[in-house]
Amino acid sequence: MTDNAARDNVERVARVLPAGPKAVRFVEMTSAAMTALLESDLDRAGAEVGAELTEYFLSDSARWLWRYRLNQLTARPECAGWLSKVVIAEPEGTVVGFAGFHGPPDETGMVEIGYSVDPAHRRRGYARAILAALMRRAAADARVRTLRLTISPDNAASLATIAGFGFTEVGEQWDEEDGLETIFEIPASEISAS
């Protein structure tokens, strides 16, 4: 057996995700909630998801996302469960942002992670808690083979957030909305789902 074959036969040890002081849970952002947000009805959207949403959910970038995800859900209902979720800090019950995936696993088993922390709650460990929870969610689905993140090369805060999670830089892409982005990936097999 060659050295390469021996390495290929070694079972990979699942990565234990970095622990942090913060815990979060997700609540599905329904079509009705996104529609309410597009109509600037924060109270109705909050009632729909059962959480007190902040003005951040009405920001221009958030409204762009709700419109995009609502169109995505209309065109592809099978995306439900993978898209936008409200992020709630536990045990406080405070809404700290939104997160999800760009869609269900594609034909190669890849999912792309997306998240945003309300500016009022940044630099407190929530982004790392969100990232860890999304990674566990993806790793628990047998269809997922690869997790992807894209980050602007000058976004030092996001680059620092992913440090220690095992992502590897695999390339760059141009995004019409965000400009140049660095692509990071990790095999799902390297993530502990627990």
| Burial category of 30 from C-beta neighbours within 10 Å (exposed 0-12, middle 13-18, buried 19 and up) | middle
Q: Is the pLDDT of residue 1 over 70?
A: no
- How many angstroms separate the CA atoms of 95 and 151, rounded? 23
Q: DSSP per residue over 116-150, as a string?
A: EE-GGGTTSSHHHHHHHHHHHHHHTSTT--EEEEE
Mean pLDDT of all residues in 151-171: 92
What pTM was computed for the model? 0.86
Q: DSSP per residue over 34-56, as a string?
A: HHHHHTT-HHHHHHHHTS---GG
At 193 the pLDDT is 64
- Tell me the three state secondary structure of residue 188: helix
**pLDDT tens-digit map of 24-66:** 999 999 999 999 999 999 999 999 999 999 999 999 999 999 9
Q: How confident is the model at residue 19 (pLDDT cuts 50, 70, 90)?
A: low
DSSP category for residue 174: E
At 5 the pLDDT is 39
The values of phi and psi at residue 32, to 5°, are -65, -40
Q: For 74, what's the count of Cα atoms within 13 Å in the CB-facing half-sphere?
A: 10
- How many angstroms separate the CA atoms of 21 and 100, rounded? 21
Mean pLDDT of all residues in 175-188: 89
- Tell me the three state secondary structure of residue 2: coil
**pLDDT tens-digit map of 91-120:** 999 999 999 999 999 999 999 999 999 999
Q: How confident is the model at residue 88 (pLDDT cuts 50, 70, 90)?
A: very high
**Which is more confidently placed, 5 or 193?**
193
Q: Which domains does the chain have, with CATH numbers?
A: 20-190 (3.40.630.30)
